[in-house]
Amino acid sequence: MKKVTLRGKLVRARFICLALCLFVLGAITVPGFARAEKFIIAWSAVSALNSPFWVMNDAGLLKQEGLDMELVYIASSPTVARATLAGDIVISGANSQVIVDVGLNGGDLVAMGAITNVVAFYIMAAPEIKTVTDLRGKVVGVTRFGASTDFGMRMLLSKYGLEAAKDVPFIQIGGMPELAAALSQKTVFAAPMSQPMVYLAQKAGMRMLANLAKEDIPFMHIGLTTSKRWIREHRPQAKAFIRAYGRAIHFMHTRKEQTKAIFAKYTKINDMGMLDGSLQYGYDFMEKIPFVKAQAFQVTLDQIARTNPKAKQAKPEQFFDNSLVQELVDEGFFTKLWGKKP
């Protein structure tokens, strides 16, 4: 009797050992287990275009997708890009110029999705500035050199025959709130801005000089930016993040009051007119299906090629990867989410 009991104990011990080995193996190989790893993601401007990051976080959509992510604010897309390249941040909102600049210098940043594929700024100016050409000799402000504001302003000036720095001095100010303050204090005479800061500038007497969305300037204003290495090593999480983005855009369209409360938290604004304007701004520019458009990167390469010969040899496809979005489209994710094809 004792012999049978001992044998039974040995069998049981082997079974438990095998189960533990399978559990450990599963934790290494099954995507679901990898989700326990914590990552940092970043947004870079007090702009409605960054709101998908806010909504993903505050509406619990990242957790819904099994992701443990901490959201941080860094007031410059070039700075965010450097942190993403270093691996301190895994996903951020960066523009096509930043991604191309990094890529031409050997970095492996890539856009795995696009929040918007056009320059989504309004150029706000002092009342005495009536046309773009009136900016000759006048100082304009941007958030940071190399940021979306910098690129958009340069492209607009070029379209009207003006050269940045040579004809129109540039200074970098900081974030959107700082741009609004500089405009009201006449430190600068014009600046690219987004909602909700456009509303504040208008209340301070500034006028809208141009809507860049109507200037036919393709540009990936904000992309879901990561590194090629992170996608290779964490493809399930990358795909889950894009699902969370899709859910965030749907949330913004279907739960407006909750969305405005989230906007108010991150922008520190409670004016209903400003919040309504910010929400509409998001509707106008943000992609429901976040495919990156090649032309947005081609325009960027053409602009950079004026000063960097490496850009002439580069192809747009080097800097973005639509495969994850395409997988979700093929699986019917966006159609199920919206109840129809968005």
Q: Write down the pLDDT at residue 115.
A: 96
Give 18's pLDDT tier (boundaries 50, 70, 90). Answer: very low
Is residue 36 very low, low, confident or very high in pLDDT (cuts 50, 70, 90)? Answer: low
- pLDDT one-digit tens code per residue, 274-298: 899 889 888 888 999 999 999 999 9
Indicate if 263 and 157 belong to the same structural domain.
no
204 and 253, same domain (yes or no): no
Between 261 and 197, the higher pLDDT residue: 261
Question: Looking at 174, 196, 214, which one is the last position of a domain?
Answer: 214
Q: What is the CATH number of the domain that holds 95?
A: 3.40.190.10
Residue 23 lies in a domain: no
* Count of structural domains, the chain: 2
Q: Cα separation of 323 and 321, whole Å? A: 6
Task: Judge if 133 and 107 occupy the same domain.
Answer: no
pLDDT at 260: 96
Residue range 143-171, pLDDT digits in tens: 988 788 898 899 899 999 999 999 999 99
Q: What integer pLDDT is reported at residue 280 of this predicted model?
A: 87
Q: Is 242 found in the same domain as 314?
A: yes
- Domain, as residue range, for 70: 34-118+218-338
User: Residue 180: is its pLDDT beyond 60?
Assistant: yes
CA dihedral 42, 44, 49, 52 (to 10 degrees): 10
Identify the pLDDT of residue 26.
42
Check whether residue 209 and residue 231 sit in a common domain.
Answer: no
**Is residue 24 in a domain?**
no
Answer with the one of 166, 185, 214 that is the final residue of a domain. Answer: 214
Give the mean model confidence (pLDDT) for residues 250-279: 93
Q: What is the structure's pLDDT at 197?
A: 85
Residues 333 and 283 in one domain: yes
My answer on whether 51 and 173 are in the same domain is: no
Above 60 in pLDDT, residue 13? Answer: no
Per-residue confidence (pLDDT) for residue 77, from 0 to 100: 76
Q: Which residues contact 173 (CB under 8 A, 6 or more apart)?
A: 141, 142, 143, 179, 182, 187, 188, 191
User: Do both 267 and 298 map to the same domain?
Assistant: yes
pLDDT at 1 over 70: no
Domain membership of residue 250 (yes or no) is yes
For residues 333 and 230, membership in a common domain is answered with yes
Residue 320: what are its φ and ψ, rounded to 5°?
-145, 160
Q: HSE, CB side, 13 Å, CA atoms: give it for residue 127.
A: 6
236 and 104 in a single domain? The answer is yes
What's the pLDDT score for residue 4?
43
Residues 241 and 92 both lie in one domain:
yes
279 in Cβ contact with 256 (< 8 Å): yes
pLDDT at 22: 38
